[in-house]
């Protein structure tokens, strides 16, 4: 079968970082490219608790783009194995079952939680993180009966969504409810990430909240807040007029497109601005909660300066080598929280996986996802998909995906 496979050596990494300065196409085209369309066999079930899934749609995530362009921190490399078929935002049809799989049958249309945690690796007892429901933050990503890999799409043994077939453990499989389309199913993973960000930094009634970045994840954080019926004021900061349109429809109360987050914070929250003898202004007062879906040095430093005393900043965007002025952190006794993947939380009195919460919200009509996928591509046209994602505003692109449906 044809698959979009990622692999990189240290020599290749150095060469791409050098030549890629002159032309970004080196990263995904030609002999040096880390990602290539290859012929590989269909993956086999690792054990009788596993399921083979026929891919219908696979979303192209910003983390996939960062991986291809070698922007991810090498710190995570012990938890990845090459060569791997990328793609973790998936919707597919069950094609084959292990003999010990329950409550799933061939032909079921499913979405898949990508984390390859203790359950998938058949490690018992589970690690402390998995035991607490933090199943995306497992301590055993390099152990157990699988090759290292944080998720499907970064593990040599499972395959990924940019191929006609991949395998997943039964604990990762979530059936789509009646009436839920594959286009909605493929977006359950990013919605679940947005839900995780909100659950780990839950706004209270009347809070002033800021979301930095109006892309897919920023919009999903907003959709999660509105879907959970949280009565708070939400501002979204993004310079793109196209993104502003999207978040307005999703329920943003205020949209900051002029780049002047400080002045907007003053006006929206009643904060006061102070100018140091050198450097950027700092605000006293500000937003109670901020979700930074960009995670750059600029946005993190700005967010801390616009966050109120005792406020919580959720760092959802993935970056590395960030230099921070920690003065606002201690001066205003703030909390900086990381967000990665999704786990379990209480919903309507039940302890549920974030995928189940997301599917409930979609089924109940609390969250609409059918406005998010704007472009689909065949697997063979992956280079065009990458090119579109490099200039999404120019193409009016929100979420792009590979479709295996003829």
What are the structural domains of the chain? 2-187+371-403 (3.90.180.10), 201-338 (3.40.50.720)
Annotate 119-145 with b (16+ C-beta within 10 A) or e (fewer). bbbebeebbebbeebbbbbbebbbebe
* Token pair of 368 as six digits: 């609409």
Distance CA 205, CA 107 (A): 43
Distance CA 280, CA 302 (A): 9
Report how far apart, in Å, the C-alpha atoms of 259 and of each of 214, 287, 394 are. 13, 17, 19
Distance CA 209, CA 151 (A): 30
- Residue spans of alpha helices (H) in 251-317: 261-269, 297-306
pLDDT of residue 72: 84
- Which among 59, 65, 75 has a CA at the least distance from the CA of 34? 65
- Four-CA torsion 188, 368, 269, 210, nearest 10 degrees: 30
DSSP symbol at 342 = -
User: For the chain, percent helix, then strand, then coil, each to nearest 5?
Assistant: 30, 25, 45
* Token pair of 292 as six digits: 């930074």
* Token pair of 234 as six digits: 């939400």
Cross-sheet strand order for the sheet of 84-85: 35-39, 2-6, 84-85
Chain CA centroid to CA 131, Å: 22
pLDDT of residue 321: 79
pLDDT of residue 241: 86
Distance CA 194, CA 225 (A): 9
- Going by DSSP bridges, is the β-strand pair 254-256/272-274 parallel, antiparallel, or unpaired? unpaired
Distance CA 139, CA 127 (A): 6
Residues 6+ apart with CB under 8 A from 334: 304, 307, 309, 310, 311, 312, 313, 328
**Cis link prior to 125 (omega < 30° from 0)?**
yes
**Cis link prior to 83 (omega < 30° from 0)?**
yes
pLDDT of residue 387: 96
* 8 A C-beta contact, residue 285 and residue 262: no
β-partners of residue 55 are: 92
* Helices 188-199 and 216-227, packing angle to 10 deg: 60
* 8 A C-beta contact, residue 380 and residue 2: yes
Per-residue pLDDT tens digits of the chain, which is 406 residues long = 999 999 999 999 999 999 989 999 999 999 999 999 999 999 999 999 999 999 999 999 999 999 999 998 888 899 999 999 999 999 999 999 999 999 999 999 999 999 999 999 999 999 999 999 999 999 999 999 999 999 999 999 999 999 999 999 999 999 999 999 999 999 999 999 999 999 999 999 999 999 999 999 999 999 999 999 999 999 999 998 888 889 999 999 999 999 999 999 999 999 999 999 988 899 999 999 999 999 999 999 999 999 999 999 999 998 777 889 999 999 999 999 999 999 999 999 999 999 999 999 999 999 999 889 999 999 999 999 999 999 998 999 999 999 999 7
DSSP symbol at 114 = -
* 8 A C-beta contact, residue 188 and residue 194: no
Distance CA 51, CA 157 (A): 13
* 8 A C-beta contact, residue 56 and residue 405: yes
β-partners of residue 307 are: 287
Radius of gyration for the alpha carbons in the chain, expressed in angstroms and rounded:
21
pLDDT digits 0-9 by tens, 202-244:
999 999 999 999 999 999 999 999 999 999 999 999 998 888 8
DSSP symbol at 162 = S
Report how far apart, in Å, the C-alpha atoms of 255 and of each of 11, 237, 288 are. 45, 6, 17
């Amino acid at each position: 079968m044809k698959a979009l496979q990622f692999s990189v050596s240290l020599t290749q990494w150095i060469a791409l970082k050098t030549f890629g300065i002159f032309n970004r196409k080196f990263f995904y085209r030609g002999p040096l490219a880390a990602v290539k369309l290859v012929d590989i066999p269909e993956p086999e079930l690792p054990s009788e608790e596993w399921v083979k899934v026929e891919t219908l749609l696979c979303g192209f995530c910003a983390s996939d783009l960062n991986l291809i362009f070698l922007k991810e921190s090498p710190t995570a490399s012990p938890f990845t194995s090459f060569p791997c078929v990328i793609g973790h935002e998936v919707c597919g049809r069950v094609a084959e079952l292990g003999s010990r799989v329950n409550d799933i049958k061939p032909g079921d249309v499913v979405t898949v939680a990508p984390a390859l945690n203790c359950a998938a690796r058949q490690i018992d007892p589970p690690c402390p993180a998995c035991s607490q429901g933090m199943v995306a933050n497992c301590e055993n990503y390099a152990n157990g009966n699988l090759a290292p890999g944080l998720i499907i799409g970064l593990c040599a043994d499972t395959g990924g969504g940019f191929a006609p077939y991949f395998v997943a453990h039964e604990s990762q499989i979530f059936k789509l409810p009646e009436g839920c389309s594959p286009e909605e199913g493929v977006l359950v993973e990013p919605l679940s990430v947005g839900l995780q960000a909100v659950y780990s930094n839950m706004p209270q009634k009347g809070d002033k909240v800021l979301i930095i970045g109006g892309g897919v994840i920023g919009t999903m954080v907003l959709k999660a807040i509105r879907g959970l019926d949280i009565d708070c004021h939400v501002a979204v900061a993004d310079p793109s007029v196209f993104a502003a349109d999207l978040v307005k429809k999703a329920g943003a109360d205020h949209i900051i497109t002029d780049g002047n987050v400080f002045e907007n914070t003053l006006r929206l929250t009643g904060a006061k601005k102070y100018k140091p003898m050198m450097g950027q202004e700092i605000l006293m007062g500000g937003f109670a909660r901020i979700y930074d879906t960009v995670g750059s040095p600029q946005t993190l430093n700005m967010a801390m300066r616009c966050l109120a005393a005792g406020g919580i900043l959720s760092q959802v965007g993935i970056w590395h080598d960030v230099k921070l002025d920690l003065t606002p952190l201690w001066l205003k006794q703030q909390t900086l929280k990381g967000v990665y993947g999704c786990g379990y939380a209480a919903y309507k009195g039940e302890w549920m996986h974030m995928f189940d919460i997301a599917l409930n919200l979609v089924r109940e009509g609390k969250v609409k996802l059918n406005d998010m996928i704007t472009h689909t591509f065949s697997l063979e046209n992956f280079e065009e998909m990458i090119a579109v994602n490099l200039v999404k505003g120019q193409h009016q692109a929100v979420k792009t995906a590979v479709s295996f449906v003829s």
